Amino acid sequence: MANATPRVPSLFLKALKKSPWVFHVGTSGCNNCDIEIADCLTPRYDIERFGMKLAGSPRHADVMLITGPVSRACREPLQQAWLEMPRPRAAVMVGACACSMGAYKDAYSVTGPPDKVLLEVDPDARFVYVPGCPPKPETIIMGIVKLLGAL
Amino acid sequence: MSASTSNRTPGDRRVIQIGPFHPLLEEPVGFELTVEGEKVVHVDACMEYIHKGIERLAQERTYDMVPILLEKICGICSVTHSVCFCNAAEDLLQVEIPPRASYIRTIIGELERLHSHLLWVGLAGHFIGYNTVFMWAWKYREPVCDVFEMLTGHRQNSSLPIVGGVRRDIPESYFPEARRAMDRLDEQVEMLTAAVLDDPVLAARLKGIGVLTPQEVVDWGVVGPTARASGVDTDVRRDEPYAAYEELDWKVITTENGDVFDKAVVRLLEIRESISIIRQCLEKIPGGELNLGQQHIPRGEGIGRYEAPRGEDIHYLRSNGTNMPERLKVRAPSFTNVASFEVSCIGESIADVTITLAACDPCYSCTERTAVVRGVDGRPTHTFQDLVRLSQDKTRALAREMGREPGLNLL
Ligand code: SF4
């Protein structure tokens, strides 16, 4: 991970690890994963106590949470949102769909798992995969924590 | 992409673009609001971001696999779509499922309604900037997911329904804990309901906005709690009972005013009804078979109806006698409810439109059904006339295939 983003001063990385802001992108999944992400914010899981916060714009975010396979219509918006995110940036693939397209593998209107779609525009992109359909909120939080460990 | 951008159109009208990735929306969806000053004069929704082509995928799955695939139409209505498909197949087969299976379907269906309504109440609070309600309602939603997990093994996607019954049993050893959870939830929701109904801020903010009159409800084919809030008494669970609803004691909630406040009231009161239904089911659930075993689905067609948390869901199934559906058509409730934005949002101010849009609890995963494949400079290539022509061509081709003369009304 550190090799992938050599220009980032260590102070930035340190700050990022303390308080990553996440931006959530639903790219045509079934919205169950999206709900479990929103669930992470609510009293039982409350990720804000770790300094994580859902950001309103990709420009404010450090980590992107992606759910769902990428439909044709979502492809360009997703790539654009990724490029808007400042470095160092990383993505968490939440759910079977985002990891491998899951149940929609053969569907005519999906164009590929999000990691491939993002690698097209940014070969340096780094990901963490959280499988499950949908993963439990605990698992999603663990995914983000693992990502921070890897940074 | 995420922030709203405005650009001028001739006159003093502006177009505000919301989405597709917007912090207020969980799913990618595009809205175009045309506004004059603060007032919204036109709403347009762009329905393509989440289109996945599940109906097509279902034609390549066997009948055992289809309910599991259909759970993935929508994360909240996973029981809805799988049971609705089973209703359609059982309508085709003309069979009755074993009583234990119908009780299990009722229990998981009502648990789903519980967590869906609580989720909506929370989101509605979030949309109007009242995050206390959001946190509160979602906190109470957790025990419901826990009960779901105890009984079925998963927080939302149970994979239980199959054609002719249910796949697995739910363990009776967890019933006492489920009962206790329902008791606790009943108290909590009672408090939440009282707090919401008494809150002067919520009343000031929600009363009288986004009103749908009963006539508009009928004209636009609005279904579910959105229709019941306008005093239109419709509920598939009572009108065409499936599962175990006929044997249970419950009532359909309606209110009179049709504004956003009433839509909240209907949902809050329905939560109490669902709790009571689940309690009765846990008491009364009979023993016996879980399913009818492997079914051969003959040639024919069937229609399944189901009262989803958002309204009436309809599945149309056509079988050609093989082990996969020949055609499956899903008409989710949000599809008709979303169209009513055309009347409920016009004339409201921008600030009120977000909550009006949210008031019918739209689920775009269920609704989106187009994918624009080719377009010149990003514009859709099909006008309304094109679509009519295309569907007429398709009908003619089908008629020819079936050896029938196309009807005159096609021309
Ligand atoms: S992984 Fe499962 S729950 Fe998540 S978006 Fe895909 S189908 Fe839905």
Handedness of CA B136, B137, B140, B142 (dihedral sign): negative
Contact A71 B48 (CB under 8 A): yes
For ligand 1, atom 2, the nearest C-alpha belongs to A133
Instruction: For residue B70, report the distance from its CA to the centre of ligand 1, in Å.
Output: 11
Q: Which residue did the predictor score with more confidence, B149 or B372? A: B149
Question: Residue A69 and residue A27: Cα distance in Å, rounded?
Answer: 6
CATH code, residues A10-150:
3.40.50.12280
Question: So what's the pLDDT on residue B376?
Answer: 46
CB pair distance less than 8 Å for A71 and B119 = no
B217-233 pLDDT, tens digit per residue, is 888 888 888 888 888 88
State how far residue B346 is from chain A, nearest Cα, in angstroms: 27
User: Which of left, alpha, beta for A84 (phi over 0: left; psi -120 to 50: alpha)?
Assistant: alpha
Q: Residue B155: which of A36, A140, A29, A30 has the closest Cα?
A: A36
CB contact under 8 A, A73 and B56: no
Summarize the confidence of residues B378-398 as an average pLDDT.
72
pLDDT at residue B72, as a whole number: 85
Contacts of B50 in chain A (CB under 8 A): 26, 28-29, 31, 68, 71, 74
**Rounded to the nearest whole angstrom, what is the distance from the C-alpha of residue B258 to the centroid of ligand 1?**
34
Domain ranges in chain A are 10-150
Partner residue facing A81 (CB), from B2, B138, B365: B2
* Closest residue on chain A to B72 (Cα): A30
The confidence score (pLDDT) of residue B4 equals 44
Runs of H (alpha helix) within B32-152: 54-58, 66-70, 78-93, 99-127, 131-152
Taking CA–CA distances from B48, the nearest residue in chain A reads A73
Does A73 sit in the ligand 1 pocket, CB within 6 Å? no
Instruction: For chain B, give the number of residues.
Output: 411
Ligand 1 geometric centre to CA of B350 (Å): 32
Q: Do A109 and B60 touch (CB under 8 A)?
A: no
Average pLDDT taken over every residue of chain B? 82
pLDDT at B301 > cutoff 60: yes
**For A102-128, how does the pLDDT look when each residue is reduced to its tens digit (9 = 90+)?**
888 888 888 888 888 888 888 888 888
CA distance A78 to A70: 8
Quick: pLDDT tens for A27-45: 877 888 888 888 888 888 8
Judge whether residue B189 has pLDDT over 80: yes
User: Does the beta carbon of A88 sit less than 6 angstroms from any atom of ligand 1?
Assistant: no
| Residues in chain A within 8 Å Cβ distance of B142 | 39, 42, 44
Q: How confident is the model at residue B124 (pLDDT cuts 50, 70, 90)?
A: confident
Contact between A69 and A101 under an 8 Å Cβ cutoff? The reply is yes
Percentage, residues of chain B above pLDDT 70? 87
* B86-121 tens-digit pLDDT: 999 988 989 888 989 999 999 999 999 998 899 888
Distant-in-sequence, close-in-space partners of B44: CB < 8 Å, separation ≥ 6: B31, B32, B33, B34
**How far apart are the C-alpha atoms of B333 and A17, rounded to whole Å?**
43
C-alpha of residue A71 to centroid of ligand 1, in Å? 14
**Confidence at residue B275, expressed as pLDDT on a 0 to 100 scale:** 92
Q: Is B75 in the pocket of ligand 1 (CB under 6 A)?
A: yes
Q: For residue range B357-372, what is the model confidence (pLDDT) as tens digits?
A: 777 777 776 766 555 5
Residue A31: strand, helix, or coil: coil
- Yes or no, beta carbons of A134 and B53 under 8 Å apart: no
Residue predicted with more confidence, A123 or A15: A123
Q: Which of A27, A35, A136 sits opposite B75 (nearest CB)?
A: A35
Residues A73-78 have a mean pLDDT of: 82
What's residue B407's pLDDT?
Answer: 53
**Cβ–Cβ under 8 Å, residues B95 and B168:** no
Instruction: Say whether pLDDT at B8 is over 60.
Output: no
Long-range contacts of B324-327 (CB under 8 A, 24+ apart): B324/B59, B324/B60, B324/B61, B324/B62, B324/B63, B325/B58, B325/B59, B325/B61, B325/B63, B325/B66, B326/B59, B327/B55, B327/B59
Residue B344 has pLDDT above 70, yes or no: yes
- Are B167 and B122 in contact by the 8 Å Cβ rule? The answer is no
Percent of chain A with pLDDT strictly greater than 90: 0
Query: What is the reported pLDDT for B367?
Result: 66
Mean pLDDT of B295-324: 88
- pLDDT of A3 higher than 50: no
Q: What is the mean pLDDT of residues A60-73?
A: 85
Residue B186: Cβ within 10 Å count: 15
Q: What percentage of residues in chain B have a pLDDT greater than 90?
A: 7
The complex's ipTM works out to: 0.83
pTM of the complete model: 0.85
Q: Which residue of B has its CA nearest to A81?
A: B1
Ligand 1 atom nearest the C-alpha of A132 is 1
**Cβ pair B118, A21 in contact under 8 A:** no
What is the predicted pLDDT for the residue at A52? Answer: 82
Question: pLDDT band for position B199 (50/70/90)?
Answer: confident
A5, A121, B210, B224, B258 from B221: Cα distances, Å: 54, 44, 16, 10, 14
Residue B27 confidence (pLDDT) above 70:
no
CATH architecture of B54-332: Orthogonal Bundle (1.10)
Read off φ and ψ for residue B28, nearest 5 degrees: -75, 120
Contacts of A134 in chain B (CB under 8 A): 75, 155-157
Q: Name the residue among A63, A59, A151, A76 with its Cα closest to residue A112.
A: A76
Nearest CA in chain A to B46: A73
In this complex, the residue of B71, B74, B139 whose CB is nearest that of residue A44 is B139
